[in-house]
């Protein structure tokens, strides 16, 4: 096999063997594996190796010689330029199968178990599902303001208002904001110069109600023509029921700031899921695909098999969604979440849904569970839905001491899921693994796992 360094360009004929965790084609080359975007299993072509990062080789397709029968024409004009999604040119059925296999592989590799993973539950049409749209301000090469998504692998902003996965209500809002910013000549924030004001613009749409929350993220509280901007925004976009300003002073990649000002409206929107009403504020976590979130929650609740007699804990609970849904079928529901704004929403949500046997605490989930274990608290069913990086060994250890008869692990990170499950397998066994596709046309997938206490 020819030698190559990180700089030299190597060209070879390769065949895609499988898709990686991140949705890249895996192409064997000698004893190496080259990761190639937009190259699907079974496809063959001329591949160039473009760079090496962290010991791994990344390439691109120079010419596709044998396309897969799963390849379809992409209908998105930005596909390949914008880094927002993958798989726009891959059949959705094949994407769902890939996600099922991926979870199976991670469980095998990282937890050492071979279990049957159920087929991924997906959307009928994987379109316009995203209720949270996160855009950035930038400048074009002619120094005109832009608003949209980052170009793949960079912080260059491409103006995109039309997107196949976002809620269609976002398009006119993004267009109006860009027009206002251009007309009023409000300087956008420039990372490299540390100058300007406007950083990001977020939209959250309610699925079931005619409500939209918009968040303008700025470098500082005041910016030129602020009053004018707000009044023209409000007049032009009556569908946006509340506008919040978030102030992020630090120069980093975090989007939302610590300081918030409600520019008009209540500062939150409401939505309905599985028959309950939820209040969502700018900082609270809320799943981004409402239709499939219902499927996810229904799966989690059915796995719990509640009879009305159980004490349930919803750990990493966000605005309390899973816990509040479980409350209908449980004796008592405890929930723990680390973001105070989300807990405030959860308390409000319990109140407005008339659910009183529900207790929500602001705490680190590990700390909370350790305390429960120390006082030998009673726990029948544990729901856990940690962020992508997963939970902690200490959390899992405390869970084992509490010995709930069922653990329902909801995860958006198949690797951390498998790593965490491994630590439970001495006293729990995997009963069901159900992938649910909340993120069509991206590499991400949710999984619900039912773990049963061994007798
Ligand atoms: N179950 C909720 C939220 C899941 S997202 C839903 O379906 O909407 C994961 C949540 O974990 C987020 O709300 C995040 O704020 C919270 N979180 C992250 N780290 C945490 C920690 N160490 N302790 C408690 N909550 C945490």
pLDDT tens-place string over residues 417-438: 999 999 999 999 999 999 999 9
Contact yes or no for 19/26 (Cβ under 8 A): yes
- 333 and 265 part of one domain: no
281 located within any domain: no
What distance in Å separates the CA atoms of residue 81 and residue 344, rounded to the nearest whole number? 39
User: What is residue 39's three-state secondary structure?
Assistant: coil
164 located within any domain: yes
Is 412 an active-site residue? Answer: yes
- 168 and 242 part of one domain: yes
Where is the domain boundary, 56, 71, 86? 71
What distance in Å separates the CA atoms of residue 15 and residue 6, rounded to the nearest whole number? 22
- 108 and 152 part of one domain: no
Contact yes or no for 38/16 (Cβ under 8 A): no
- 328 and 201 part of one domain: no
Q: Pick 191 or 118 by higher pLDDT.
A: 118
279 located within any domain: no
> Minimal CA–CA distance to 101: which of 166, 18, 165, 158?
18
Residue 67 pLDDT: 97
- 252 and 321 part of one domain: no
Per residue in 279-296, pLDDT tens? 999 999 999 999 999 999
Tokens of 114: 């071979």
**Residue 245: burial class (beta carbons within 10 Å; 0-12, 13-18, 19+):** buried
Closest protein CA for atom 5 of ligand 1: 387
DSSP 124: S
- 105 and 183 part of one domain: no
Mutating to test ligand 1, I would choose from 279, 338, 340, 349 the residue with most ligand atoms within 8 A of its C-beta, which is 338
Report which secondary-structure segment, H or E, holds 18: strand 18-19
How many domains, the chain? 3
Tokens of 61: 């397709």
Flag whether pLDDT at 4 surpasses 50. no
What distance in Å separates the CA atoms of residue 226 and residue 234, rounded to the nearest whole number? 12
Tokens of 118: 């159920």
Contact yes or no for 338/367 (Cβ under 8 A): no
- 139 and 119 part of one domain: no
Q: Whole-model pTM?
A: 0.93
Domain containing 138 — which CATH number?
2.40.50.1070
Cβ(321) – ligand 1 distance below 6 Å: yes
414 located within any domain: yes
Cβ(361) – ligand 1 distance below 6 Å: no
Mutating to test ligand 1, I would choose from 207, 271, 285, 436 the residue with most ligand atoms within 8 A of its C-beta, which is 285
Average pLDDT, the chain: 95
- 255 and 368 part of one domain: no
- Please count the residues of the chain: 455
What distance in Å separates the CA atoms of residue 139 and residue 218, rounded to the nearest whole number? 15
275 located within any domain: no
Cβ(387) – ligand 1 distance below 6 Å: yes
User: How many angstroms does the Cα of residue 319 sit away from the middle of ligand 1?
Assistant: 9
pLDDT band at 162 (very low <50, low <70, confident <90, very high): confident
Domain that holds residue 167: 132-270
What distance in Å separates the CA atoms of residue 285 and residue 280, rounded to the nearest whole number? 8
What distance in Å separates the CA atoms of residue 372 and residue 245, rounded to the nearest whole number? 38
- 360 and 318 part of one domain: yes
313 located within any domain: yes
Flag whether pLDDT at 165 surpasses 50. yes
Give the angle subtended at the CA of 84 by the CAs of 412 and 279, to the nearest 5°: 55
Domain containing 49 — which CATH number?
2.40.50.140
Specify the ligand 1 atom closest to the Cα of 387.
Answer: 9
Domain containing 119 — which CATH number?
3.40.50.150
- 51 and 174 part of one domain: no
- 243 and 145 part of one domain: yes
Where is the domain boundary, 34, 54, 71? 71
426 located within any domain: yes
- 20 and 42 part of one domain: yes
Residue 269 pLDDT: 97
Q: What is the mean pLDDT of residues 326-348?
A: 95
49 located within any domain: yes
SS3 percent helix, strand, coil of the chain, rounded to 5, is 25, 35, 45
**103: alpha, beta or left, given left = phi > 0 and alpha = psi -120 to 50?**
alpha
CA distances from 311 to 4, 201, 359, 367, 406 (A): 59, 41, 11, 19, 11
Where is the domain boundary, 207, 242, 270? 270
What distance in Å separates the CA atoms of residue 315 and residue 407, rounded to the nearest whole number? 11
């Amino acid at each position: 096999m020819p030698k190559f360094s990180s700089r030299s360009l190597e060209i070879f004929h390769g065949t895609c063997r499988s898709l990686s965790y991140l949705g890249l084609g895996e192409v064997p080359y000698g004893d190496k594996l080259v990761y190639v975007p937009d190259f699907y299993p079974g496809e063959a072509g001329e591949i160039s190796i473009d760079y090496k990062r962290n010991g791994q080789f990344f390439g691109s397709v120079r010419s596709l010689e044998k396309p897969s029968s799963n390849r379809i024409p992409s209908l998105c004009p930005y596909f390949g330029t914008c880094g927002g999604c993958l798989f726009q040119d891959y059949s959705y059925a094949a994407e769902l199968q890939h996600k099922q296999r991926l979870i199976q592989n991670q469980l095998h590799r990282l937890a050492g178990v071979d279990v049957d993973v159920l087929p991924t539950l997906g959307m009928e049409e994987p379109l316009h599902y995203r209720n949270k749209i996160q855009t950035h301000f930038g400048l074009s090469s002619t120094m005109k303001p832009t608003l949209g998504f980052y170009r793949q692998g960079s912080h260059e902003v491409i103006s995109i208002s039309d997107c196949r996965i976002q809620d269609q209500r976002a398009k006119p809002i993004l267009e109006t904001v860009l027009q206002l910013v251009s007309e009023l000549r409000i300087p956008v924030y420039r990372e490299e110069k540390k100058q300007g004001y406007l950083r990001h613009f977020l939209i959250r749409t309610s699925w079931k109600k005619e409500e939209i929350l918009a968040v303008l993220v700025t470098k500082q509280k005041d910016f030129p023509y602020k009053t004018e901007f707000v009044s023209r925004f409000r007049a032009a976009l009556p569908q946006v029921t509340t506008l919040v300003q978030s102030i992020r002073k630090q120069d980093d990649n975090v989007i939302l700031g610590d300081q918030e000002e409600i520019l008009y409206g209540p500062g939150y929107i409401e939505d309905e899921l599985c028959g309950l009403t939820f209040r969502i504020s700018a900082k609270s976590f809320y799943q981004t695909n409402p239709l499939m979130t219902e499927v996810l929650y229904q799966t989690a609740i059915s796995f719990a098999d509640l009879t009305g007699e159980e004490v349930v804990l919803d750990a990493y609970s966000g605005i309390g969604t899973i816990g509040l849904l479980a409350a209908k079928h449980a004796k008592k529901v405890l929930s723990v979440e680390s973001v105070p704004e989300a807990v405030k929403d959860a308390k409000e949500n319990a109140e407005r849904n008339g659910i009183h046997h529900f207790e929500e605490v602001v705490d680190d989930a590990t700390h909370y569970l350790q305390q429960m274990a120390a006082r030998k608290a009673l726990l029948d069913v544990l729901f856990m839905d940690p962020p992508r990086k997963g939970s902690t060994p200490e959390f899992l250890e405390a869970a084992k001491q509490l010995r709930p008869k069922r653990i329902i692990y909801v995860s958006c990170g198949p690797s951390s899921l498998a790593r965490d499950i491994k630590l439970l397998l001495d006293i729990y066994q995997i009963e069901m693994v159900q992938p649910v596709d909340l993120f069509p046309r991206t590499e991400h997938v949710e999984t619900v796992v039912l773990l049963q206490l061994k007798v």
